[in-house]
Amino acid sequence: MNHVVSQKTIAHVTHVSGRGYWSGQKVTLTFLPASAGTGIRFRRVDLPSKPEIPALASYRVDAVLRTRLENAGASVEMVEHVLAALYGMGIDNCIVECDAQEMPGLDGSAYAIAIALHQAGRMDLEVPCVVHRIRSEMKLGDDRAHVHVSPGEHEGLTLMYHLDYGRHSPIPSTSSTYHLSPDEFLHSIAPARTFLTLADAEQLQQAGVASHVTTRDLLIFGEFGPLQNQMRFPDECSRHKLLDLIGDLALCGMRIDGKVYAHRSGHQLNGRMAEYLMNNSSETKSLQVASRRVA
C-alpha cells in the first residue's frame, strides 16, 4: 500500500549565517516557507533584481569540488549541504534567500542547517508529494567511480556510499548505509564533515582560496589521521559523501523512492544522476493526502 506523503514546507522563518569556505565572504541564509509546487529556490537578495535560481539539475553547472547553480547570469555556490539538509529534513518547498554567492561553510557539515530547519518545524501543505519511483536499474560512471540506482524494497530512499581511495590513502575506506528519515538525517548524517588531504588543502590555499580555513574548520587528513581534530564517527568520511549525494540528488526536484548505491562518486557524477532522474521520471503522486500537521 502506498505510504501517504504530502508536500511540506517550514512552519517558521529561520536563519543560518557563516562564511563561505572558498571566498571567505560572510553570508546569511534566510529560509522562508513556500507554497506547494514551489520546490527549492535560491534568491540572491544582494543583487538588484533579487534573481531566483531554482534548485534543479537543469541549472547546475560543473564546478570543481562543489555544486554551482546558475540562472540568467546569477549563481549560487556550494549548495549541496543546504539542499541535503532540506531534503533530509523532509522540506519540499522553501525559498532560500542569500546575501552572497557562496553558501556558509560552517563546520564542514550540514548540522547547523539541519538544526535550524528542525527548530523551524515542518508544515504539511496538504498537496500530494511528487515522487520519482525508481522502477529499473541504471548505472552511471565506470569501475573507478559510479552511481547506481535500483527499485527499493521499502517506501522512501535507501542510500549506500562506499568510499575507497586505496590502501595508501590516509582517508580510511568505509561504507555507510541509511534508510533516510529526518531523524536519521539530523543525528547520523548532518554532523558528518567535509574532509581533505593535507596535500589537497595546501594546494587550494596556494591557489588563493579558502585562506581563512584551518584544520579546526573541517577534517584535514595528514599521514596518520585528522590534524588537530577528531572524527565524529569512524565512517565520518563516507557519511559526508552520502550527505553530498543527498544534496546532489535533490536536484531532480522530486522525492525519490528507491535504492542508490554510490562508489567514490563526486558532485559531477551525482549531478548527472539527478539530471537522469529528472528527465526520466515515471513520476507518481501519492493518492491520498494526510491532513495532519507535522511538528
Q: Give catalytic residue positions.
A: 267
How near is the Cβ of 173 to Zn ion at its closest, in Å? 18
Cβ-based nearer residue to Zn ion, 136 or 203: 203
CB 161 within 8 A of CB 175: yes
Cβ-based nearer residue to Zn ion, 194 or 265: 194
Cα Dmax for the chain: 56
Instruction: Report the candidate in 34, 30, 76 with the shortest Cα–Cα distance to residue 53.
Output: 76
* Cα 272 versus chain centre, distance: 14
How near is the Cβ of 108 to Zn ion at its closest, in Å? 7
Instruction: Report the candidate in 8, 249, 247, 253 with the shortest Cα–Cα distance to residue 128.
Output: 8
CB 146 within 8 A of CB 259: no
Cβ-based nearer residue to Zn ion, 270 or 286: 270
Cβ-based nearer residue to Zn ion, 92 or 236: 236
How near is the Cβ of 261 to Zn ion at its closest, in Å? 19
How near is the Cβ of 71 to Zn ion at its closest, in Å? 22
**Residue number closest to Zn ion, CB atom:** 244
* Residues engaged in binding Zn ion (CB under 5 A): 194, 244
